[in-house]
Amino acid sequence: MSEVTNKVLRPGTHSTGPGQAQPATTSKPAASASPWTRQNPFPGKLVVNRRLSSDDSKKDTRHFEIDLTGWGLNFEPGDSVAVYPTNDPNLVKEIIRALGTTGDETVPAAKTTKPFREALLRDYSITQPTPKFLKAIAERASAAPMLKELLRPDRKHDLENYLWGAEVIDFLLEHPSVKFRPEEFVGLLTKLQPRLYSVASSLRVFPDQVHLIVDVVRYESRGRARQGVASSFLAERADKAPVPVYPSSAKHFHMPEDQTLPLIMIGPGTGIAPLRLGTFHTQRLSDAIGLRVVARSSTQNIRSTQDAGKRR
């Protein structure tokens, strides 16, 4: 809902599942001297994880509050925050088991070396099959004639359709004859990227927090349950570990400098996060009005429970 990269993928989109957020690269925020960088994000702490969707809704929309005490950075209305997730540990275990490794092998990761299990958890994207990975499967599999055919340059569109909803683990399970050494396998993957989420709170009102409103991505493809990397991290695992975050500025999406100007906030396609932030930042609307805006701007069966406007 509030994710800047929250694009619902169309059939034929290469190697990502339906509704899965795409990785995004952060831009330089308007902040001065700080030990925290894009390569060394601030270790935030998740303090609120609250479901906003009604009990009978098929969607799971969450309100998250992350404590930023001591971070020394800044964001403005319209900006985003990059969340640096970890992968699903159950998926990591399944990949290690499919490869027939222990997970303790040493592999290159983040300009150093780490145990294979740790690298898969924190450093590499383990869901989207890369072209290098697909080529390696096609070359080594005892029976993958369709994939070999679809990898031809003139079959690009057909390959995209074939890959709709497919993940790395699918190919490992479908072709058990293919084995990779751990260091070889990670060489076929890409780096795990942060995900950008629109900020849903103002530092004027919550000086030591950032709030996010996120649709938790869950779906099924090829007979397997899938989940979004970052949204499931926030919803299911972030309470047990730090939440690395870093601000990302939006060059062309800010509140007007003249605070006396009237505002009309329209958010089709943006979710409710920017509207909630605008309400807080200008302090022009009462909590009640802000909550009505939230309820009327969404078709996702979100409760108006005064959770969006109250400090917890």
Instruction: Dump pLDDT digits (tens) for 277-289.
Output: 555 554 543 343 3
pLDDT band at 239 (very low <50, low <70, confident <90, very high): very high
**How far lies 161's CA from each of 16, 141, 156, 219, in Å?**
11, 21, 9, 18
Residue-wise pLDDT for 137-195, tens only, equals: 999 998 888 999 999 999 999 999 999 999 999 999 999 999 999 999 999 999 999 99
Q: Which residues of 267-291 are buried (b: 16+ CB within 10 A; e: fewer)?
A: beebbbbbbbbbbbbbeebeeeebb
DSSP bridge pairs for 215: 61
Distance from the Cα of residue 230 to its chain's centroid: 3
For residues 197 and 84, give the distance between their C-alpha atoms in angstroms, rounded to a whole number.
Answer: 11
Domains along the chain with CATH numbers:
42-85+199-296 (2.40.30.10), 89-191 (1.20.990.10)
Task: Point out the least confidently predicted range of 152-166, 232-246, 264-278.
Answer: 264-278
For residues 252 and 179, give the distance between their C-alpha atoms in angstroms, rounded to a whole number.
Answer: 48
112 vs 254: which has the higher pLDDT: 112
Could you tell me which residues come within 8 angstroms of residue 3 by beta carbon, excluding any fewer than 6 positions away? 21, 195, 196, 197, 198, 214, 215, 230, 231, 271
This prediction has a pTM of 0.76
> Which has the closest alpha carbon to 197: 267, 274, 134, 91?
274
**How far lies 45's CA from each of 214, 216, 243, in Å?**
17, 19, 6
Within 13 A of 285's CA, how many CA atoms are on the CB side? 20
For residues 272 and 297, give the distance between their C-alpha atoms in angstroms, rounded to a whole number.
Answer: 7
Task: Point out the least confidently predicted range of 125-129, 199-203, 232-236, 307-311.
Answer: 307-311
Helix axis angle for 287-296 and 273-282, nearest 10°, is: 160
Query: Dihedral (C-alpha) 176, 179, 183, 189: value to the nearest 10 degrees?
Result: -50
pLDDT band at 291 (very low <50, low <70, confident <90, very high): very low
pLDDT band at 296 (very low <50, low <70, confident <90, very high): very low
Could you tell me which residues come within 8 angstroms of residue 14 by beta carbon, excluding any fewer than 6 positions away? 160, 163
